Structure formats: C-alpha cells, structure tokens
C-alpha cells in the first residue's frame, strides 16, 4: 500500500522544466455563460497563465487583477479612438481612469490603441490617439514601464511569399509607416494578430495541414537559405520583412492573438486545435525565434480563454482553450517554469492543477 501511494503521488504531481517566454491568453467576454471576472482571474492563477490581453477596460476585471501578478495588455476600444485622437484631455482622463487608478496593483504591459482598425475606416484616428495616450502615460513618467501600440491583422500585408519578400499593401503604407516610425521612436513593439488557420483554410490546395499545425516532419519552404517547417514562422517573418521595408528595422512584434477553432468550420476540430495551440505554446517557450530572427523571444497571446457564444459566425464561437465551465479542452504548458499534475490534466483526479508556479 505504501508503495502504491508513493507511485500515485509521483504521477499526481511531477515537476517539469519549461523554458522561455510565458504564453499569454486573451480574455474575451462575448458570452452569456462565462464565469465571473473573479473566477476567471483565479483560473489564470490556477493554470499559471501570467499574461492576459483584455479588449476593453472592464472595471470588474481590472479590480480582480489587482495584486494578481498577471501582466496585462489593455485595449482601447475602436469606438473610443475618435475622442482620444481629437482631445488630449480625453486621453488623459482615459489613462487616469483605466490605468493610473489601478497601477501598480495591476501590472500593465501594453496599451493597445485599437484592434484591427481598417485603414480606410477610422485609420486616421489611430496614430493621433496613440500619441495622446502615450503623452498621458509619459506625463505619469511610466513610458518605460507601460508601452503604447496598436494591434493589426495580416490583411495589411500585400506580399507574404516568400517571407523575405514580405511587404505591406501599397494602399496602406501611408497608414502603417508612420505608426511603425512612432513605435520605433518610443521603443515599443507592433502588436499583430496572426492566424495560420485562416491562411490555411483560404488556400488548402497549396498549404498543407501539417505545415499549419507545426507537425510537418521536415522543412516545407526554403527562402534564401532559411528553412520553414511551419506556417506561423513564415507569416511572422513576412511581417518582419514588411516592417523593415517600412523603415522599422528590427522593431519587435508581439503576437497579440493566435489560435485555432475546435468546431464550427472547415478543419476546425478539437484535435487540430489541440495540435496548434500546444505546439505554438511549446514554440513560444523554446526561445528559438524565427529563421529570419533566430534566438528571439516570441511574446504571444493565445485566442481565447473561452468559447464565446455571442460571437458570429459559428467559427468565431469556438476558439477557447477552456470551456465556459472552466474545464480545459486540452493540456497546455503556459508558463516558463511550472508544475504539471498529470492525474488532474488527464481527468484522473478531481481538481485541475496544471502548470502551477513553483515560486
């Protein structure tokens, strides 16, 4: 009996060394069956998820984040851009109300001024709003602690293959180039939502599923001596190339969203979502960078924490790595160092205690 108990204890909690960058998760709230804000912050802590992206300054969530140690990317909703762009006092009020009133109990990492703004529809407000928010942050002498950026999607890229030829579309250069210049001048980073899922499903004839899921056994694409074994690296390197062509040099990129749906559309299965999300998390932790920028850290936020039943179309409802009942869809290593309970992760126990911090 003693030997059996010892064996069970060994399987119940095994310390595993994980290296590299912690994996963040985006916390969306577009559902009517989601846990309370306090429960969600507790779930982040339970799974040692150390970084969060929040799309708007929800007061309940910000209060729940106090003294949690979670690093936050806080979004300025697109609907607020006009007022912040045209009125510096509105930007100061926004920063005071939603940032300074919570700092330092909440660990703000980035303020994302707008998300996937269409340059032809509201694009003119993004950079002025970024400048005004930055000035408000600088007024509090926090510009070195809290960075200001915006989140783009890959529709701004005109050329993506091969990655070394990556370039922004000609019609958006007047929008994106000044933003890149501002980010360089403020020592910030560009936030980018990168979804190999959508690239694959838009062209499954030429893009293989293993290449999209990080499961290809060998290099698929060679580009000037650089070998690409997965689509994520290729998209990110195309973005790096585009940034260079827009005068951004080695401006860092934060992957502010990436994920794979587990239902609701083509190739949207639980197995594919598991493969993509777990492999991406491992990819982030390994600190290998990309073929174009080897050895670099890839700050990344998985989309999303939960399935969100208010979203549409159906494919958008199924990106969660957790179900709304707080159960994980599959085990993921979120942190750079952690403790994994195999019995709990695989359903052998009653409580999920995966990847808790050892410190």
Please, are residues 294 and 300 in contact by the beta-carbon 8 Å criterion?
no
Whether omega before 104 lies within 30 degrees of 0, making that bond cis, reads: yes
- Cis bond upstream, residue 97 (ω within 30): no
Whether residue 175 contacts residue 158, with contact meaning beta carbons closer than 8 Å, is answered with no
The CA distance from 100 to 112, in Å, is 16
Backbone angles phi, psi at 159, to 5 degrees: -120, 125
DSSP state of 47: T
Question: How many residues belong to the chain?
Answer: 359
Burial code (b: 16+ CB inside 10 Å, e: under 16) for 347-359 equals: eeeeebbbbeeee
Cβ contacts of 346 within 8 Å, gap of 6 or more: 331
The residue whose two tokens read 């932790």 is: 285
Strands 51-54 and 71-76 come out as: parallel
> Which residues touch 28 (CB under 8 Å, ≥6 apart)?
55, 303, 304, 305, 306, 308
**Annotation marks residue 308 as catalytic:** no
Q: How far apart are the first and last CA of the chain?
A: 32
Q: With 0-12 CB in 10 A as exposed, 13-18 as middle and 19+ as buried, what is 294?
A: exposed
C-beta neighbour count of 36 within 10 angstroms: 11
**35, 41, 44, 49 alpha-carbon torsion, rounded to 10°:** 140
Catalytic residue among 21, 71, 257, 316: 257
Strands 167-168 and 71-76: unpaired
Let me know if 257 is a catalytic residue. Answer: yes
Question: Looking at the annotation, which residues are catalytic?
Answer: 116, 257
């Amino acid at each position: 009996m003693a030997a059996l108990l010892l064996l069970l204890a060994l399987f119940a909690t095994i310390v595993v060394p994980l290296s590299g960058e912690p994996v963040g998760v985006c916390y969306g709230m577009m559902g009517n069956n989601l846990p309370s804000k306090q429960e969600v912050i507790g779930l982040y802590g339970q799974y040692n998820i150390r970084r969060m992206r929040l799309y708007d300054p929800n007061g309940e969530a910000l209060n729940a984040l106090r003294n949690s140690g979670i690093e936050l990317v806080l979004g300025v909703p697109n609907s607020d851009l006009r007022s912040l762009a045209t009125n510096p006092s509105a930007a100061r009020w926004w920063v005071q109300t939603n940032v300074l009133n919570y700092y330092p109990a909440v660990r703000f990492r980035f303020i994302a001024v707008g998300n996937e703004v269409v340059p032809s529809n509201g694009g003119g407000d993004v950079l002025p709003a970024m400048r005004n928010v930055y000035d408000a942050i600088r007024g509090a002498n926090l510009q070195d602690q809290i960075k200001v950026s915006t989140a783009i999607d890959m529709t701004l890229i005109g050329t993506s293959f091969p990655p070394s030829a990556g370039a922004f579309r000609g019609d958006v250069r007047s929008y994106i180039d000044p933003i890149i210049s501002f980010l360089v001048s403020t020592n910030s980073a560009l936030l980018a939502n990168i979804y190999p899922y959508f690239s694959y499903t838009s062209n499954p004839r030429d893009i293989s599923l293993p290449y999209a899921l990080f499961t290809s056994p060998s290099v698929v694409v060679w580009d000037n001596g650089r070998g690409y074994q997965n689509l994520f690296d290729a998209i990110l390197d195309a973005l790096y190339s585009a940034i260079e062509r827009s005068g951004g040099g080695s401006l860092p990129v934060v992957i502010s969203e990436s994920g794979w749906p587990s239902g609701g559309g083509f190739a949207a299965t639980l197995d594919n979502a598991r493969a993509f999300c777990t492999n991406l998390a491992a990819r982030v932790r390994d600190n290998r960078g990309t073929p174009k920028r080897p050895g670099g850290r890839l700050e990344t936020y998985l989309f999303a924490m939960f399935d969100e039943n208010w979203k549409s179309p159906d494919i958008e409802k199924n990106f969660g790595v957790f179900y709304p009942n707080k159960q994980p869809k599959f085990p993921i290593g979120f942190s750079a160092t952690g403790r994994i309970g195999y019995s709990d992760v695989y359903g052998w126990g009653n409580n999920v205690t995966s990847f808790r911090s050892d410190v």
